[in-house]
Amino acid sequence: MSPVGSVNPLTASALTRIDAPLPKVGLAPAGLPVGAPVQGFGQMLDGLVATVADKQDAAQAVTRQVLLGNSDQLHQSVIAMQEASVAFSLMVEVRNKLVDSYQELMRMQV
């Protein structure tokens, strides 16, 4: 059977309609229910920066407890520091991509 003949006609008509509603995907930033409207791009970035800051504060608190001798969870301290480091690196890369995109837009001829 040819690839064209194996397509379901109901699915094919839905794919060709431009005004067809997009399916909802079950992915959303942490803490947001699926389908909830996001206030804006700036608020989303502020939330992500706050999340990174929270991870860094938590890692610092766990490390302080280990250094003061109040806790023997050295592995938890190392894990928390690595999570904060990865989150910060991701935030820096997102910022770099945003700056590159902005610069590319500014280079475009109108």
Q: What is the pLDDT of residues 27-54, one digit of tens each?
A: 455 555 566 665 788 888 899 999 999 9
Residue 41's pLDDT is 84
Tokens of 105: 């837009």
Query: Has residue 2 been placed in a domain?
Result: no
Asked if the model's pLDDT at residue 7 lies above 80, the reply is: no
Q: Tell me the average pLDDT of the chain.
A: 78
Q: Which residues span the domain enclosing 85?
A: 9-32+39-107
Query: Has residue 4 been placed in a domain?
Result: no
Contact 83, 63 (CB under 8 A): no
Residue 13's pLDDT is 46
The beta-strand segments (E) located in the chain are: none
Query: Has residue 69 been placed in a domain?
Result: yes
Query: Has residue 68 been placed in a domain?
Result: yes
Total domain count, the chain: 1
Query: Has residue 83 been placed in a domain?
Result: yes
Per-residue burial over 70-80, b if 16 or more Cβ lie within 10 Å, else e, is eeeeeeebeeb
Query: Has residue 3 been placed in a domain?
Result: no
Query: Has residue 43 been placed in a domain?
Result: yes
Question: What are the tens digits of pLDDT across the range 53-62?
Answer: 999 999 999 9
| Packing angle, helices 41-68 and 74-107, rounded to 10 | 150
Residue 110's pLDDT is 80
Give residue 96's pLDDT band: very low, low, confident or very high (50, 70, 90).
Answer: very high
